[in-house]
Chain A
Amino acid sequence: MLESVIPWLLAGFIAVLVAGMLRRISLWRAGQPQQVNLVAGLMAMPRRYLVDLHHVVDRDKVMSNTHVATAGGFVASMLLIILVHGFGLDSVWLARALLLTTVVMFIGALFVFRRRLNPPSRLSKGPWMRLPKSLLTFAATFFVVSLPAAGVLPDGFGSGVLAFILLAGIVAGLGEMLFGMGWAGPMKHAFAGALHLAFHRRPERFGGGRSTGLKLLDLDTSNGKTLGVAKPTDFKWNQLLGFDACVQCGRCEAMCPAFAAGQPLNPKKLIQDMVVGLAGGTDAKYAGSPYPGKDVGNAKGSPIEVITEGLVSQETLWSCTTCRACVEECPMMIEHVDAIVDMRRFLTLEQGSTPGKGSETLQNLIATDNPNGNDPQSRSWWAADQNIPLMSEKKEADVLFWVSDGAFDMRSQRILRSFVKILKAANVDFAYLGDEERDSGDVARRLGDDATFQSLAKRNIATLKQYKFKRIVTTDPHAFHCLKNEYPDLGGNYEVLHHTRLINELVAGGKIKLDALTTAGTVTYHDPCYLGRYNGEYDAPRDVLKAMGIELAEMERSGFRSRCCGGGGAAPITDIPGERRIADMRMDDIRETGADLVAVGCQQCTAMLEGVVEPRPQVQDIAEMVAAQLVEIEQPASKREVA
């Protein structure tokens, strides 16, 4: 009896699945057009899934293996079920293979079950708590159902009461796995996730690449389009698809500095709210952690309603420090930061509602090319006694030193001077732009004002075009990121180095010699987000520290998991209140290592960490540390002047 029902059940569920998929696809297609290579994407998908995504998931070995077993078991089982039970292929071997895959899936599901016994707070509950049971049901049922076909049990084994139980199991299992996949159950992630990997907006991220620069905004206002994202349908279609891929594992939530600081942001909830927006409805069914300080159940939206009017509050969007910890951690490679900045663009460019000192900062950037409204003619004052060659006089140099806005800040000037000292000690052929330099546009861009960013960037590029240089070096990771990853969209292609990389080169090349630093006590290193996660520069600063004989006491959260200092994404400007300060939490991380000194490679991080109330470990930029340890190198005798 069962044998005759199963094909129809399968066909029915698959039809429902396809209908659900088509509906989901239509929801995504309501988004803005974005060119993707469909065929190449689909072809690349298995590799992206098995290699790139696996790398991320593999950071948690147990979960990784669990997922391999469960998902692999399920995909194989499903194919075999269609063959064995759907088309009734009478092959003992196929059926035995099916038995094997269901066993594998069952074992995987057991681990899922175990994790769900006492789930960490980052995991969403609700329907996700049901999933392991459904997985077990599915695997167990099809194992039993397939026993006759595999010749283990006689045909006609499933009859009577057992048949009904098995039938119920089949319906429950297929319901979760197929119906749920098409109609927004937890299994939606498999379908949306697969397509998301295929049509990802940043395909460069796969295969070990890195793509972190924000996408250029088309500033044409004549075609009636809103700038930035007001409604869910203003997202690109593959961004909407990406939101649907979320598995609500909460790894982003666990890493988010704003969430930990009690600011009203939870990246997971944000993505789920985007899902609510693209499908329409409320967040009442959301079963994970809320935005700190905000109750779940009040948000509602639809594809054509403005997101910030009822779905997501503006403070949520402004809490983000754009540190990319969530993106780095997301096993589905969802781009949270892109989405947040897209929505910020709408708030700033269309609504003019940048909070805090945002408006003032933007006006200053427009009127003075620096965020604090300093006289642009005073940009080079810090270097009055430094005797640095000006690019406008020299026209050509090996290295162009990009000073960035630290030029106006007395603390940052110490870093700049130290770095100049190093460059001079190593006889590097360098020059700087002096007053010709402008803000890189980083702050404007993170504040959502792409018009100001583009204006600054274009003028900077025009300035740089006048001169010949091989490389740009900067002490500011934010400018580093802008110049390296965001200027190419506007036609500025440069080889850009962070100063730690150049110092490392100089040390390795024997251009400078460093004394061992023995008096500093315990030293730890704080990875700036825009240097580490944005640009993958984890080694150079560590190598430089090593060259000074420093044995680093690494923080638990370092490298790609480094916690933000709270200074990125214009967060100090928008200043959304939380329960704690991110910088204080980071200083606690530092204190945990017992460090007396924390080495930093970013003036913004230096400022944030030094803003923590004393007593606290000392904060120094690597350039300052290196400048203090410089040892004079014996010049070759021929070059020496005879006294």
Chain B
Amino acid sequence: MSRDSIKSPAATLASNLNSSTGQTGKPLTITTLVSVGQHPKSGRARVADQDAKALELALSLSAGKGTAAVGKGEAGAGKSQINLIHAGTATAEQQLVLRGYLGMGVGQMRVLKQSDGADVIPVLVDAVRKSGSDVVLTGSRAEAGEGSGMTPYLVAQSLGWPMVPAAVEITAVGSGEFEILQALPRGQRRLLKVRAPFVASIDAAAAEARQTAWAAGQRGALEHMTLSSNDDAVLAEAAVEPARKRPKRIARAKKAKTAADRFKAATAKSASKGGAVLVKESAEEKAEAIYQMLLSQGVLKAR
């Protein structure tokens, strides 16, 4: 297959661009909900990877790959606005992390300060509702705490908006309509169409977030708002402890009725050790052998 025949997803979308404005021609308002992440190795608070990618998507959507295509006169009207909202305890240490989002190039963030273990959904919904947003972007799963991935769904449910999971690219195609590329496993993509307003969660496969500029983050403003909140009763009841290593499933001790069989099954080595080596065959035969393996693995895609 020649490379030219396949359009990259970006190119497919770019050709459809014409405007980045919302439904009624008013500038687009994009809200990004961000959380305080957790480094998977050190457990230290950090800018959450997917949330940063959501903000990156918001920034590129507002810088509008689209607006460039709009005439100069409209450019001002097409300039969209980004709201950055965080709800949580916002301790001093966490605020340092939150400044990391500001350092990506947003002037201010609304920080909805809550008590520890409080339910963030009602305050987030309220804040989004008041912001007059067209698009709400979030990460797919929080890095700290329960990390169930419910937040975008609950926000969408409360607002009555559609919820699009695993977005990697969002482009405005005009009159309130958006095209969203959704990440499927193995780098495959699906195109979805949805009208604003909507909520989308961002997949880990989305474009890497831009670097945060420390000084810009320091200068940005955190607008605090302390809110009363309900405690999370469910999680309070649950036992939370450091993750245990998952036991490895013993290779199919299926019909193993005897101890010897079970032992054999548990210690069996994978069959792939020591592969075949072709030396003397002709190049065609070697190629054929490779080709057959590719076929058997199902990686050769039809055109």
Judge whether B214 is part of the interface by a CB distance below 8 angstroms: yes
Kindly list chain A residues whose C-beta atoms are within 8 Å of the C-beta of B192: none
A371-399 residues with Cβ-Cβ distance < 8 A to B are: 373-377
- Say whether B219 contacts A221, CB under 8 Å: yes
CB distance from A631 to the nearest CB of B (A): 42
Kindly list chain B residues whose C-beta atoms are within 8 Å of the C-beta of A377: 42
Contact with A along B23-51 (1 / 0, CB 8 A): 00000000000000001011010110000
Judge whether A32 is part of the interface by a CB distance below 8 angstroms: no
Residue of B nearest to A448 (CB): B214
Kindly list chain A residues whose C-beta atoms are within 8 Å of the C-beta of B213: 348-352
- Say whether B42 contacts A221, CB under 8 Å: no
Neighbour of B42 across the interface among A348, A354, A375, A449, CB < 8 A: A375
Q: Give A26 to B104 CA distance when docked, in angstroms.
A: 37
Residue of B nearest to A368 (CB): B42
- Say whether B212 contacts A352, CB under 8 Å: yes
Q: Give A452 to B212 CA distance when docked, in angstroms.
A: 13
- Say whether A368 contacts B216, CB under 8 Å: no
Identify the interface centre among A359, A362, A363: most chain B CB within 10 Å of its CB. A363
Neighbour of A352 across the interface among B41, B46, B104, CB < 8 A: B104
Judge whether B251 is part of the interface by a CB distance below 8 angstroms: no
- Say whether B211 contacts A367, CB under 8 Å: no
Kindly list chain A residues whose C-beta atoms are within 8 Å of the C-beta of B47: 363
Residue of A nearest to B46 (CB): A367
Q: Give A351 to B210 CA distance when docked, in angstroms.
A: 10
Judge whether B230 is part of the interface by a CB distance below 8 angstroms: no
Kindly list chain B residues whose C-beta atoms are within 8 Å of the C-beta of A326: none
Q: Give A358 to B210 CA distance when docked, in angstroms.
A: 11
Neighbour of B211 across the interface among A226, A359, A376, CB < 8 A: A359
- Say whether A367 contacts B39, CB under 8 Å: yes
- Say whether A374 contacts B214, CB under 8 Å: no
Judge whether A464 is part of the interface by a CB distance below 8 angstroms: no
Judge whether A353 is part of the interface by a CB distance below 8 angstroms: yes
Q: Give A3 to B211 CA distance when docked, in angstroms.
A: 69
- Say whether A353 contacts B215, CB under 8 Å: no
Judge whether B218 is part of the interface by a CB distance below 8 angstroms: yes
Judge whether A612 is part of the interface by a CB distance below 8 angstroms: no
- Say whether B41 contacts A368, CB under 8 Å: yes
Residue of A nearest to B44 (CB): A367
Q: Give A354 to B42 CA distance when docked, in angstroms.
A: 24
- Say whether B215 contacts A221, CB under 8 Å: yes
Q: Give A449 to B214 CA distance when docked, in angstroms.
A: 8
Judge whether A103 is part of the interface by a CB distance below 8 angstroms: no
Q: Give A303 to B39 CA distance when docked, in angstroms.
A: 42
Neighbour of A368 across the interface among B44, B210, B212, CB < 8 A: B44
Enumerate chain A interface residues (CB-CB to B < 8 A). 221, 226-227, 348-354, 358-359, 362-363, 366-369, 373-377, 449, 451-452
Enumerate chain B interface residues (CB-CB to A < 8 A). 39, 41-42, 44, 46-47, 103-105, 210-216, 218-219
Listed A/B pairs (15) with beta-carbon separation below 8 Å = A227-B214, A227-B215, A348-B213, A348-B214, A352-B104, A352-B213, A352-B214, A358-B211, A363-B47, A367-B46, A368-B42, A374-B41, A376-B41, A449-B214, A452-B214
